[in-house]
Structure 1
Amino acid sequence: MKLVCTSRRRYLAACIVAAAALPFVTLVHAQLPSSSRPLVMRVAYPAGGPADVAARKIQLPLQAALGKPVIIENLPGAGGSIAANNVLHATPDGQTLLVTTGNDMILSPLALAQVKYKPEQYRLLATILPTDFTLVTSANHAFPSVDALIERARRSDQKELTIGSWGYGSAPYLVGADFSASTNARVMDVPYKGAAPVIQALLSREIDLAFVPLAPNVLELIRTGKINAIGVANTKRNPYLPQLPTLSEGKYLKNFVYSAWAAVFVPASAPEPVVAALHKNLAEITGSSDFQGFLKDSAALPVEPMTPAQSAAFYQAEIDKFRRIAKAVKLEPQ
């Protein structure tokens, strides 16, 4: 049974029925403190995108666990900051959650002058769609290794290579900037309005390179030879491309690790009992065989549920890493 709850007025009763009709869901014994309000998850991207799909995958199991409706609302725009600000200023009772990527959560305040929130004003509840950034090239390049690509990009007598991103301050922009700074590779950023235009630019050979999350469409393009994969930004090889080296296996890059990860956040002002209950519920849902199967179908990495302390430590480490790299590449809010 599949029911998407997107409207507060139309679906309250229907959502309760849907939750009750899910015998395959193991209910989590971590109820929220009594509240008449439905739980709202505000997604920072349009409906149908990867983060939105992942949010809808946890929607009904979370309803069943909480015993009340969970509503999804899409508030896209401004690098995820529209939804982030909206959730931050909602009633501070923990009944309004944010679904966004950790990358946008951390980078938008560093790159966009109009964004005033700080990542520390939110707590990470669960990661729901982690995937490796992968360095790919258009099909007219056939570099045998990342070292060969770097050596070509360093040559001043050769045309500068172009690298696609989805705009100044985006995660691919920062990953590309760190790649260039770490290796002295000469690359010129070419901004596009999202991942899909970057992929199209690679297919039409408008650009030479890009760092892209290893989504199913990217995986298929690599396997069919329509784009070429150079390596994954991790210290471990990706399970979907086990023969593809990591970028850290070359001689010029070490510990070059970047991932794209969608996640569920709650404002740090939310009551501690609510945060604890939500964290426990989401850990059981994301650790279930059903959700792990969804991740596999999405070419995402397995999710290992974390304790609240582990979530906080992981989130802070990501904040520190991106701030350090943003400073190194002289990223300034614009």
Structure 2
Amino acid sequence: MLLQLHRRAASLALLAAAALAAGPAAAQTGAKVTVLRVAYPAGGPADVAARKLQPGLQAALGQAVVVENLPGAGGSIGAANVLAAAADGKTLLVTTGNDLILAPLAMAQVRYKPESYRLLATILPTDFALVTNADHAFKGLDELVDRHRQASAKELSVGSWGHGSAPYLVGADFKLATGVRMLDVPYKGAAPVLQALLTKEIDMAFVPLAPSVLDFIRQGRIRPIGVTNTQRNPYLPEVPTLNESRYLKDFVYSAWAAVFVPAATPEPAVRQLSRQLGEIVASDDFQRFLRDAAALPVQPLTLDQASSFYTAEMEKFRRIAKRSGLEPQ
């Protein structure tokens, strides 16, 4: 009974936050303002990318574009708010595709479906990397797996940012594929996970390759095992992909911030926004921003390409969630 009350309270809080934040945005859109609603706090990677889009989108639309932050609940508060707003192309969602897909799979109070949104543009993609604390000196993934897949081996602690987060699911897939004995240790985000690696509180983690992570790797404070892609990361060319090992094939995961609109948005507005965002992300200025952020290059997507990519990501995470026994909590 207490659990049911707790879940109902969380659901009501989610809806209340969405409704409260929709008020200013509704007034602004009436004054021909486009809102980029970021599902995370100011200063984070997705927020910085949104603010980098802002001037170009404002010039393309010929009207004011404002960035608003509505963080919380794994990005689901911002996502629910955008879905509750008028589907007229004036309120856009900036979030990571990972969170948008995973929140309904992991949190019982989240009622939307990922299919309720259309992907317009990816704006900040980066590989995940498997890194260990400095006490470990594995020569590569094969050695790590050989030493820790046995029943008598020490269980490896792996940090994530909680039940159902992207690192949690990547770790679960890794465990299923390799047979390594692992214990998930939840934290409140990427920064605490990195701190836990630096203090050797945990053995390893799957983390997005941000500039801070690259700095710690180059300083020898954390050790890279491999990246979750089929090609080596341009910022760590000496580090193999996990797919170069004997144990993993087609093990591909990325963290990708993106711009979405509700699926009910009229097609002319969707086409216009897709074209304008594509021109912005293809610009030299935005590509320089991506390099400074240690992100992968971004190519403009047609709406068909965006739909195919988003659908493939939804299918992949749902498949892994089912295999790993992930249930909403």
Q: TM-score, normalised by structure 2?
A: 0.91
1-structure distance, mates of 2:248, 2:88: 45
For 1:98, the equivalent position in structure 2 comes to: 93
For 2:199, the equivalent position in structure 1 comes to: 204
Structure 1 stretch displaced more, 34-43 or 139-148: 34-43
Find the partner of 1:76 among 68, 71, 95.
Answer: 71
Report matched runs for 1:50-89 at 5 Å. 50-89=45-84
Pairing 1:328–2:323 present = yes
2-structure distance, mates of 1:187, 1:150: 11
Tell me the secondary structure at the aligned position of residue 273 of structure 2: helix
2-structure distance, mates of 1:231, 1:187: 17
- Per the TM alignment, residue 35 of structure 1 is displaced from its structure 2 partner at its CA by 7.2
Contact map agreement 2:57 2:280 (CA 8 A) in 1:
yes
1-structure distance, mates of 2:199, 2:177: 28
1-structure distance, mates of 2:67, 2:148: 45
2-structure distance, mates of 1:323, 1:158: 30
1-structure distance, mates of 2:239, 2:95: 29
For 1:126, the equivalent position in structure 2 comes to: 121
Contact map agreement 2:76 2:110 (CA 8 A) in 1:
yes
For 2:165, the equivalent position in structure 1 comes to: 170
Contact map agreement 2:154 2:181 (CA 8 A) in 1:
no
User: What do residues 72-91 of structure 1 show as CA deviations (whole Å, max 9, x unaligned)?
Assistant: 11000001010000000101
Structure 1 stretch displaced more, 158-167 or 201-210: 158-167
Find the partner of 2:139 among 135, 144, 151.
Answer: 144
Quick one: which amino acid aligns to residue 114 of structure 2?
P
2-structure distance, mates of 1:175, 1:315: 17
Quick one: which amino acid aligns to residue 177 of structure 1?
A
2-structure distance, mates of 1:86, 1:236: 37
Find the partner of 1:109 among 93, 104, 111.
Answer: 104
- Per the TM alignment, residue 94 of structure 1 is displaced from its structure 2 partner at its CA by 1.3
Quick one: which amino acid aligns to residue 88 of structure 1?
L
For 1:22, the equivalent position in structure 2 comes to: none
User: What do residues 34-69 of structure 1 show as CA deviations (whole Å, max 9, x unaligned)?
Assistant: 974200011000000000000000001100110000
Tell me the secondary structure at the aligned position of residue 252 of structure 1: coil
2-structure distance, mates of 1:271, 1:155: 55
Q: Quick one: percent identity of the two aligned structures?
A: 67
Quick one: which amino acid aligns to residue 209 of structure 2?
L
Question: Which portions of structure 1, spanning 4 or more consecutive aligned residues, are displaced by more than 4 angstroms?
Answer: none
- Per the TM alignment, residue 158 of structure 1 is displaced from its structure 2 partner at its CA by 2.6
Tell me the secondary structure at the aligned position of residue 216 of structure 2: helix
1-structure distance, mates of 2:51, 2:192: 25
- Per the TM alignment, residue 156 of structure 1 is displaced from its structure 2 partner at its CA by 2.3
For 2:178, the equivalent position in structure 1 comes to: 183
- Per the TM alignment, residue 159 of structure 1 is displaced from its structure 2 partner at its CA by 1.7
1-structure distance, mates of 2:31, 2:267: 18
2-structure distance, mates of 1:92, 1:301: 31
Give the structure with the larger helix fraction.
2
Quick one: which amino acid aligns to residue 158 of structure 1?
A
Report matched runs for 1:284-323 at 5 Å. 284-323=279-318
RMSD: 1.3
1-structure distance, mates of 2:322, 2:167: 16
Q: TM-score, normalised by structure 1?
A: 0.89
For 2:277, the equivalent position in structure 1 comes to: 282
Tell me the secondary structure at the aligned position of residue 68 of structure 2: strand
Contact map agreement 2:125 2:257 (CA 8 A) in 1:
yes
For 2:17, the equivalent position in structure 1 comes to: none
Equivalenced residues, count = 304
2-structure distance, mates of 1:211, 1:36: 44
For 1:24, the equivalent position in structure 2 comes to: none
Tell me the secondary structure at the aligned position of residue 167 of structure 1: coil
Quick one: which amino acid aligns to residue 291 of structure 1?
F
- Per the TM alignment, residue 306 of structure 1 is displaced from its structure 2 partner at its CA by 0.8
